[in-house]
Structure 1
Amino acid sequence: MADKFSRTPEQTRRARALRQSASKTEYKVWLVLSRKQMGVSFRRQHPVGPYFLDYYCPSLKFAVEIDGDWHDPNRDARRDAFLGERGISIMRIPVSHIDESLEAVAQRIRSEIELIRQREG
């Protein structure tokens, strides 16, 4: 898994471009996840292999992915399998859920973080 010391310059450029082109919806989620508001640190557009994770918590190996209309279920399944092989759990959230209730999405993420912490015990 790439960390901040092993990513390539191209991955760094791509991650930066993805962060700068984030949608308003993605930015709303970032405002909820940033500054350790969930009790853990998240990174935006974190590279893992050939993929970039929308939001990633390295200490829990937990990714939050925002799924809009552009997501291909077959590609997502391959991606999820790749990440799962590396011990990374993924929570997929449709854009429509964020637009309906950001607070409900935040609560769902908080609950998942607690479950992961309990499993790690």
Structure 2
Amino acid sequence: MRLAGSDSSQRTAKRLRKAMTPPEIGLWLALRTNDAGLRFRRQHPAGQYVLDFYCAPARLAVEVDGEAHNRGDRPLRDAARDQWLAAQGTHVLRYAATDVLTNLDGVVREILTIALARRDQFQS
């Protein structure tokens, strides 16, 4: 199943690719050249949302959450988004931006381990 985005989310994704945060840039550089051979997309449109990173064969979304994700209605919006993605068969991993900056290797190892297991699950 293809996870496609709306026209609006496609325009937003294009804009966001040009304005990635430092944690997103670091994670992107690590994910795009991973030794596992998994292909990740950055700022991938999905429905009305834009995913920070998406691995289609694993049906895995990776989100880098800055401090703003803990304020206002953001936790409720994130929960609704995660619920919608789960209904589409996509699992979401969330990492705090500070964790990405301070433990990039550990974050990448965990993402790749989960992505490989999920990919294998869907190829069986």
Shorter-chain TM band: 0.7 to 0.9
Structure with more helix by fraction? 2
Percent pairwise identity: 35
TM-aligned CA deviation for residue 101 of structure 1? 1.1
TM-aligned CA deviation for residue 36 of structure 1? 5.2
Cα deviations across residues 50-99 of structure 1 (Å, max 9, x unaligned)?
A: 10000001122111111111112211110000000000011111111112
TM-score with structure 2 length normalisation?
Answer: 0.84
* Matched residue, 2:119: 117
* Matched residue, 2:67: 69
Distance in 1 (CA, whole Å) between partners of 2:34 and 2:104 is 17
Give the alignment partner of residue 83 of structure 1, picking from 71, 82, 85: 85
* Matched residue, 2:9: 11
**8 A contact 1:55–1:65 mirrored in 2:** yes
Distance in 2 (CA, whole Å) between partners of 1:115 and 1:59 is 11
Distance in 2 (CA, whole Å) between partners of 1:11 and 1:59 is 21
* Matched residue, 1:28: 26
- RMSD value over aligned CA atoms? 1.7
Query: Which runs of no fewer than 5 residues in structure 1 stay unpaired?
Result: none
The size of the alignment, in residue pairs, is 117
Structure with more relative contact order (C-alpha pairs < 8 Å, separation 6 or more): 2
In structure 2, relative to structure 1, the CA distance for the partners of 1:60 and 1:98 (3 Å cut) is same
TM-aligned CA deviation for residue 33 of structure 1? 1.1
Written as runs of structure 1 = structure 2, the 5 A alignment for 1:45-60 is 45-60=43-58
Query: Which runs of no fewer than 5 residues in structure 2 stay unpaired?
Result: none
Distance in 1 (CA, whole Å) between partners of 2:114 and 2:68 is 25
In structure 2, relative to structure 1, the CA distance for the partners of 1:32 and 1:114 (3 Å cut) is same
